[in-house]
Amino acid sequence: MINKSTLLAAEPQLFVLNIGASCEFYTKKLGFAVAFTYGEPPFYGQVFRDGARLNLRSLDRPGLDAERRDREQLLSASIALDDAEPLYLEYQAAGVMFAQPLRTEPWGARTFIVRDLDGNLILFAGRGE
């Protein structure tokens, strides 16, 4: 019998310029909580909401070409959820900047994309109607 590992979760790493500012954005605008920050000053951290976890890594300059990221809609993370619309409305009321408004994809999923302070694009995808 061959032992097999089970993949339990993924924790994407997002590149940011300021851990403190990013943690504030994720907590105040997106409803996440800070799991931890590390370093003095902090250069690494993690935020979470329900089962979603995002690792934040501070860089001294952007980690991705902004023009290419926007042109090609290069996602930094995808977060699956049961129903995208209530979260979209929550974020809309909080004044979150969207790279893509809520829409129904051809395959039936309901999606929207948030842009964080550093331009990271985060896809939220829920089941269709």
Report the pLDDT value the prediction gives residue 8, as an integer from 0 to 100.
82
Q: With contact defined as beta carbons under 8 Å apart, do 85 and 128 qualify?
A: no
pLDDT of the residue at 19: 96
Q: Looking at residue 129, what is its pLDDT?
A: 66
Q: How far apart are CA 117 and CA 96, in angstroms?
A: 10
- Write down the pTM of the prediction: 0.91
The 10 Å Cβ neighbour count of residue 77 is 20
Profile the chain (129 residues) by mean pLDDT over runs of 10 residues.
84 96 97 97 96 95 82 92 96 96 95 95 88
Q: Apex CA 55: angle with CA 119 and CA 118, to 5°? A: 15
